[in-house]
Amino acid sequence: MRYFLIILTVLTFACGNDSGLNNDNEDLAVSFVDPNLEAVVREALGIDTATIYLSDLQEITTLDASDRGITNISGISNIENLVNLNLERNSITNLGPLRGLSDLEVLNLGNNQVEIIDAISSLISMQTLLLDSNHVSDLSPLAGLTDMVELNLSANQIININALAPLFNLEYLYLDQNQVQDITALAALVNARLLSLNANKIEDITPLVNNSGLGSGDEVRLTGNPLSTESTMNHIPALQSRGVKVVY
């Protein structure tokens, strides 16, 4: 009997400890490496100096951290319910902390120092992604983001756009000021309403003619490309005859 009571006491104590650990996890203090990012979070929460807890962050769904001199976004993964995040005009290079923000639908990373976008592949709810004015060249992490509706990749270092072919829901695509020549992938974007391709190295626009979804009310921008005679004399008129506005 005494042996049974000892075991029962030990089990009760252990269970009490487990419960305490869970409560501690729910109220875990959160810190941010970059003081500028922390300042933005504090503003969003209305907390000046008090400790920020994990439970506090759950109420944030939209965060505007644009033009705040942020270089490091470590800690942002704790804001698990983020839907809309604006990080435009900062000095961000590492997107790793974005992994796991599976509810994120709108992400603005324009005018940063981003080269590698592997972390974005995990953002499965993404609908609007703005990555203009960065140093991106490899688009393969975007291939699985099939809910994407708007994508801005202007002013990067992009040559190969094959990874965009699976993005069949894409309506607005900005690829201006890159080094794109082969636009075969664009034939698959049948829901496109605007394809902005200014200032690239495009000669042959046959894939645009082969895009059965391009028609009345849609727009294609081709200014500043070395378009072939076949493109200007035959392909552009073919698109225009379908009601597509072509600017070249």
The pLDDT of residue 105 is above 90? yes
pLDDT at 27: 83
Output b/e per residue, 70-88; b: 16+ Cβ within 10 A: bebbebbebbeebbebbbb
> Where exactly are the structural domains of the chain?
29-125+132-136, 141-247
**Are the C-beta atoms of residues 154 and 132 closer than 8 Å to each other?**
yes
Q: Kindly give, in sequence order, each residue whose CB lies less than 8 Å from that of residue 112, ignoring residues fewer than 6 positions away.
A: 87, 88, 89, 90, 91, 92, 93, 133, 134
Q: Is 29-125+132-136's fold the same as 141-247's?
A: yes
The pLDDT of residue 69 is above 80? yes
pLDDT digits (tens, 9 = 90+) for 3-45: 333 333 333 333 333 222 334 456 899 999 999 999 999 999 9
Enter the CATH code of domain 141-247. 3.80.10.10
Q: Kindly give, in sequence order, each residue whose CB lies less than 8 Å from that of residue 20, ignoring residues fewer than 6 positions away.
A: none
151 in helix, strand or coil?
strand
Is 29-125+132-136 assigned to CATH 3.30.43.10?
Answer: no
Return mean pLDDT, the chain. Answer: 92
pLDDT at 7: 34
pLDDT digits (tens, 9 = 90+) for 223-234: 999 999 999 999
pLDDT at 81: 98
pLDDT digits (tens, 9 = 90+) for 113-127: 999 999 999 999 999
Q: Provide mean pLDDT across the span 167-184.
A: 99
pLDDT at 26: 61
The DSSP result for 31-86, as a single string, is --SSHHHHHHHHHHHT-SSSPPBHHHHTT--EEE-TTS-----TTGGG-TT--EEE
Distance CA 208, CA 168 (A): 14
What predicted TM-score, i.e. pTM, was given to this entire model?
Answer: 0.89
Q: Provide mean pLDDT across the span 206-228.
A: 99
pLDDT at 189: 99
At residue 219 the predicted structure's pLDDT band, cuts being 50, 70 and 90, is: very high
The DSSP result for 170-197, as a single string, is --EEE--SS-----GGGGG-TT-SEEE-
At residue 217 the predicted structure's pLDDT band, cuts being 50, 70 and 90, is: very high
